[in-house]
Amino acid sequence: METPSSVSIDVVVTTQQTSMSYFHQILDHKPITSPSQATSLGIASALPELHSCKWLNCCKNFILMEDLVNHVNESHIRVENSQEDYCCQWEGCTRNGKGFNARYKMSIHMRTHTGERPHKCMHDSCGKSFSRLENLKIHHRSHTGEKPYVCPVSGCGKRYSNSSDRFKHTRTHYERKPYHCKVVGCGKQYTDPSSLRKHLKTRHGHDMTNEEHD
């Protein structure tokens, strides 16, 4: 399949109904030479966005998220021998080659790249989904109002739905601004991680992941 600029794109089509439907729509159209032609044919809005594998030296594209996830699990999450760590080679990964000692940990990490969110909230018409089961459990408490994690500092009494938020709060009792910007030459400090995230994004153009501040 060729783009208007004649750059080759490797699209993997599976036997899934949605995938085959996409493929047939492409075959039914004449070659597209401009974005306006694509719009007039209704392709831009009718065809779904491709899911790209950005693993080192892999340029496969998939019509379905499920197919991309299966491809990554089967083709990339593996080691030559049991003594090796599982290392992520996804383009732009912030771990910089730091490995995982278990396959399931690598699989969970890969969801930050593929966008897979297999754990879905079944509460009424919520519809939210999460990459980690623990995050779904924490989210579920937003429906129930449960806050089982109590601040251990005497006289405080604040409660939280997860241990991570309690930990972040507890630090403020002992250190006024425990969250530091690590950008060289900056030195800004904040009382909570959300303020640090906002600072990093607006001042330095950088999105901080959970792995970086937890």
Q: Give the pLDDT means over successive 10-residue stretches in the chain (214 positions).
A: 48 57 53 54 59 92 91 90 88 92 93 95 92 92 94 93 88 82 88 85 74 46
How many domains is the chain built from?
A: 3
Q: Do residues 188 and 198 lie in contact, with contact meaning Cβ atoms separated by under 8 Å?
A: no
Q: Which residues contact 198 (CB under 8 A, 6 or more apart)?
A: none
d(CA 190, CA 168): 11
Q: Residue 20: how many CA atoms within 13 Å on its side-chain side? A: 4
> Is 156 in the same domain as 199?
no
Q: Hey, which residues does 95 pair with through a beta bridge?
A: none
Sequence letter at residue 81: N
> Is 42 in the same domain as 94?
yes
User: Which pTM was predicted?
Assistant: 0.57
d(CA 126, CA 29): 38
The two three-digit tokens of residue 209, written as one number = 């992941």
* Distance between first and last Cα of the chain: 43
> Is 162 in the same domain as 181?
no
Q: Do residues 157 and 170 lie in contact, with contact meaning Cβ atoms separated by under 8 Å?
A: no
Q: How far is CA 134 from CA 39, 44, 69, 102, 139, in A?
A: 42, 37, 20, 18, 9
The two three-digit tokens of residue 125, written as one number = 């018409």
Q: Render the burial of 154-176: b for 16+ CB within 10 Å, e for the rest.
A: eeeeeebbbebbbebbbbeeeee
> Is 21 in the same domain as 88?
yes
> Is 19 in the same domain as 107?
yes
- Decide if 103 is inside a domain: yes
Q: Which domain holds residue 189?
A: 177-214
Query: Among residues 6, 89, 14, 97, which one has the least CA distance to residue 53?
Result: 89
Phi, psi of 53 (to 5 degrees): -90, 120
- Decide if 125 is inside a domain: no
Note the residue count of the chain.
Answer: 214
d(CA 113, CA 93): 8
> Is 42 in the same domain as 108?
yes
The pLDDT assigned to 41 comes to 53
